[in-house]
């Protein structure tokens, strides 16, 4: 899209035109394009308008209803923070008493929207001209929010009067590949850390798989999952981290959020090695900790809370004789233990006439796709099998999911 077309779409007339269009449907898109052109709309603008409708349609599950009034780009939507998570970011700034948050690399402005929505001022900085034009339109409903189109590292936080910093750096290269080195992110983690320590409250969104050597000991790092998918880790500093340096997990299921942090025993630096959970004999239930709990190194903590131990050294499956009834784990009733060799598995699946099989594995060292290819899945039955180690031995367990805790 040309910058001129983006500016036209972002103008009050452009947004009124978009608002007047019927909702997106792939079947009628071509017809609508023809209609817009017949009414004298430039081909570029007609195509861009239809793209907006399609992106809004796609964005609904990630961004909720607000998507229908936002201006979006494909990259901006991919990078945008989910609305349920932006609300948690913004709540930290409000609790910190922040009055003006600088959002360094604001993208389409989803995090800024949540901050402004809680009544704080926002200066959102974005260097890409089209993204900045759309962020300006997206934030226009808030008097206390403004967008600066420039390099975020060139802004002087003190001059802006910002008392808080938020940054969600771009973590992919131009070809769309993930950059594992935080200093290759844009802005780089080191530049953001330096600025984070210059304000009373700060947060930086980082990749959930960030290596511990990149985690500073003055951060509180919170891994976040939404409906069982780990979506980010947030590094929080100063007044935005009232819990102090350490690690926690925030597990969002539906519209409820649950926080898990180490209980007592004093603060643990976020880069400290994860605590080993004790191994327990296989019980009647297997518990799969949420990915955010695993990333945060809190499997042992969860085990203590639900009275369970791990099935084998360094394997993040917990086991006990009762369901976990916890938002931090999914429990499975252990139905049967069968041989873990390929032939034994094939026989077990055939004997039980299993036509649909969910295979889970942890610590078994096998390739699930290869295992699946070696099985003849025929028959009316469905099953779930877990390939793992129990007290060091390769094991296959038929299990049945227990309904999630309400
Ligand atoms: C991951 S996105 C932010 C998404 C945003 N948090 C949201 O939820 O909508 C990162 C953005 O930072 C911008 N960016 C990267 N480096 C920048 C820099 N040095 N100055 C300003 N913006 C930058 C990119 O263009 C991109 O739009």
Q: What's the pLDDT band for 253 if we cut at 50, 70, 90? A: very high
Q: Is residue 405 over pLDDT 90? A: no
In angstroms, rounded to a whole number, what is the distance separating the alpha carbons of residues 230 and 233?
8
For residue 170, report the distance from its CA to the centre of ligand 1, in Å: 6
Q: Is the pLDDT of residue 264 over 80?
A: no
Shortest-distance atom of ligand 1 to CA 75 = 27
Residue (of 274, 342, 284) closest to 313 by Cα position: 274
The verdict on the CB of residue 207 being under 6 Å from ligand 1 is no
Determine whether the shortest distance from the Cβ of 72 to ligand 1 is under 6 A: no
Query: For the residues 245-266, what does the mean pLDDT come to?
Result: 90
CATH class of 77-260: alpha beta
| 235, β-bridge pairs | 204, 221
- Ligand 1 atom closest to the CA of 153, numbered from 1: 19
- In 3D space, the residue among 161, 273, 169 whose CA is nearest the CA of residue 212 turns out to be 273
Q: Which pLDDT tens digit goes with each residue over 112-123?
A: 999 999 999 999
DSSP structure string for 251-306: EEETTEEEEE---SS----TTSPPPPPPB----SEEEEE-HHHHHTT-HHHHHHHH
Q: What is the pLDDT of residue 255?
A: 86
How many Å lie between the centroid of ligand 1 and the Cα of residue 161? 21
| Span 346-375, pLDDT tens digits | 999 999 999 999 999 999 888 999 999 989
Kindly report the pTM of this predicted structure: 0.94
Q: At what angle do helices 3-10 and 129-139 cross, to 10 degrees?
A: 0
106 Cα to the center of ligand 1, angstroms: 5
Q: Select from 135, 84, 85, 94 the least CA-distant residue to 118.
A: 94
Chain segment 31-72, per-residue pLDDT in tens: 888 888 988 889 899 999 999 999 999 999 999 999 999 999
Provide the 10 A C-beta neighbour count for residue 168. 25
With cut-offs at 50, 70 and 90, classify the pLDDT of residue 154. Answer: very high
- 302: which 2 tokens? 């969860």
Minimum CA distance residue for ligand 1 atom 3: 107
pLDDT band at 7 (very low <50, low <70, confident <90, very high): very high
pLDDT at residue number 271: 82
Least confident window among 117-126, 213-222, 261-270, 374-383: 261-270
**Considering all CA atoms of the chain, what is the largest pairwise distance in Å, rounded to the nearest integer?**
74
Q: What is the pLDDT of residues 191-248, one digit of tens each?
A: 999 999 999 999 999 999 999 999 999 999 999 999 999 999 999 999 999 999 999 9
Q: Region 324-350: what's the mean pLDDT?
A: 94
Rg (CA), the chain: 25
Question: Among the listed ranges 11-20, 29-38, 177-186, 207-216, which one has the minimum average pLDDT value?
Answer: 29-38
The mean pLDDT value for 91-119 works out to 98
The whole-number average pLDDT for the span 292-306 is: 96
| Range 55-58, long-range pairs (CB < 8 A, 24+ positions) | 56/24, 57/23, 57/24
Q: For ligand 1, is residue 101 a contact (CB within 6 Å)? A: no
pLDDT score, position 266: 64
């Amino acid at each position: 899209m040309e910058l001129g077309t983006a500016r036209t779409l972002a103008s009050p007339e452009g947004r009124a035109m978009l608002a007047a269009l019927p909702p997106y449907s792939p079947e009628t898109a071509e017809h609508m394009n023809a209609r817009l052109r017949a009414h004298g709309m430039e081909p570029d603008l007609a195509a861009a308008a239809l793209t907006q409708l399609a992106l809004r349609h796609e964005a609904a599950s990630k961004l909720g209803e607000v998507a229908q009034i936002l201006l979006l780009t494909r990259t901006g939507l991919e990078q945008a923070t989910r609305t349920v998570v932006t609300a948690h970011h913004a709540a930290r700034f409000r609790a910190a008493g922040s009055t003006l948050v600088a959002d360094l690399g604001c993208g389409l402005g989803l995090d800024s929207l949540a901050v402004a929505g809680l009544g704080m001022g926002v200066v959102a900085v974005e260097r890409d001209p089209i993204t900045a034009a759309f962020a300006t339109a997206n934030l226009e409903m808030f008097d206390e929010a403004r967008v600066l189109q420039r390099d975020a590292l060139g802004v002087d936080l003190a001059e802006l009067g910002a008392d808080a910093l938020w940054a969600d750096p771009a973590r992919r290269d131009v070809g769309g590949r993930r950059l594992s080195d935080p200093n290759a992110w844009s802005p780089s983690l080191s530049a953001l850390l330096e600025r984070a320590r210059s304000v009373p409250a700060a947060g930086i969104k980082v990749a959930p798989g960030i290596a511990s050597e990149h985690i500073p000991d003055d951060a509180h790092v919170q891994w976040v999952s939404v409906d069982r998918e780990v979506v980010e880790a947030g590094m929080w500093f100063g007044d935005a981290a009232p819990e102090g340096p350490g690690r926690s997990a925030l597990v969002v299921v539906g519209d409820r959020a649950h926080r898990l942090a180490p209980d007592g025993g004093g603060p643990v630096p976020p880069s400290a090695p994860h605590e080993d959970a004790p191994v327990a004999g296989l019980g009647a239930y297997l518990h799969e900790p949420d990915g955010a709990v695993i990333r945060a190194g809190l499997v042992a903590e969860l085990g203590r809370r639900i009275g369970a131990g791990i099935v084998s050294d360094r394997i993040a499956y917990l086991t006990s004789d009762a369901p976990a009834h916890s938002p931090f784990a999914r429990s499975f009733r252990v139905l049967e233990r069968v041989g873990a060799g390929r032939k034994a598995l094939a026989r077990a699946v055939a004997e039980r006439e299993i036509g649909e099989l969910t295979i889970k594995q942890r610590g078994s060292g096998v390739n699930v796709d290869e295992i699946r290819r070696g099985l003849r899945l025929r028959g009316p039955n469905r099953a779930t099998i877990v390939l793992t180690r129990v007290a060091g031995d390769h094991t296959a367990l038929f299990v049945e999911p227990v309904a999630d805790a309400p």
